[in-house]
Structure 1
Amino acid sequence: MEIIQIVGLSLFATVLVLIIKEQKPMFAFLIVAFTGITIFLFLIGKISTVIQVLEDLATKASIDMIFLKTILKIVGIAYIAEFGAQIVRDAGQESIASKIELSGKVLIMVMAIPIVSVIIETVVKLLPA
């Protein structure tokens, strides 16, 4: 099971960080960042499988792929912003982490505009004139 590998790596990194943190805080942070990136890279294969399944379902349901791709980009922005904010928080930079989260939210709003526009147009067409 992959979760056992992830938890094992995380526990190992945690012990290393606790040992090194007192004497070399910079190395401790690098271990945390490296561990996070390693876990993220490990999960990319799983994420691509999910994306492929969603694309197949969208094709079968005759859903325009632009909508699915936009939604996947939105989810990607959310995950990447959260990941970046957590890494920056681990370095003790709460204010920068907040800016990353704000940037992610703004980019998500921008990406959602085409979908919201189509929904509004559809609702307007359904209303009696």
Structure 2
Amino acid sequence: MSMIQIGIIGVIGALLSIQFKGGKSEYGIYISVAISIFIFACIVDRLGLFVKAVSQVSQYIKIDTSYIATMLKMIGITYIAEFSSSVCKDAGYQTIAMQIEIFSKLTILALGLPVLLALLETIQEFLS
């Protein structure tokens, strides 16, 4: 889908959600979540193109594939955390949204530590 189509779907979904929030607010939340899941699926489809491009780049340069896998995991964690946090915020649960964001940041930090250690080891080898 093109960006214009996704934008139109998002705006229509937001307008429908606002319309239904006046009567029964749970219907507005359901519409919002459904549209968000649909757009998220389109994002995942586009990420597939990104993964293919990164794998092609890794064929040209010598790089440990575990670093690329770590980077892709970080990107996935970021998208999932942002999506779930936004859904919680839309539903009015800001505290849960903040906890999701904190957990995702700590998870990304934990994933990045081995890369940081490898970088420090490489710098130490150059200096000695």
TM-score for both structures, normalised by structure 1: 0.95
Report the alpha carbon displacement of residue 12 of structure 1 after superposing the two structures with TM: 1.2
Structure 1 counterpart of 2:27: 27
Indicate the larger mover: 30-39 or 7-16: 7-16
Report the alpha carbon displacement of residue 96 of structure 1 after superposing the two structures with TM: 0.5
Tell me the number of residue pairs that the alignment of Structure 1 and Structure 2 aligns: 128
Partners in 1 of 2:81 and 2:18 — Cα distance?
26
Partners in 2 of 1:115 and 1:39 — Cα distance?
32
The question of 1:78 aligning with 2:78 is answered yes
Cα RMSD for the two superposed structures = 1.1
Report the alpha carbon displacement of residue 122 of structure 1 after superposing the two structures with TM: 0.5
Structure 1 counterpart of 2:120: 120
Structure 1 counterpart of 2:17: 17
The question of 1:109 aligning with 2:109 is answered yes
Indicate the larger mover: 69-78 or 93-102: 69-78
Partners in 1 of 2:76 and 2:14 — Cα distance?
27
TM-score for both structures, normalised by structure 2: 0.95
Partners in 1 of 2:30 and 2:59 — Cα distance?
42
Q: Secondary structure at the match of 1:92?
A: coil
Write out aligned runs for 1:46-57 (5 A): 46-57=46-57
**Runs of 5+ unmatched residues, structure 2:** none
Q: After TM superposition, which residue ranges in structure 1, 4 or more long, deviate above 6 angstroms?
A: none
Partners in 1 of 2:67 and 2:20 — Cα distance?
47
Structure 1 counterpart of 2:59: 59
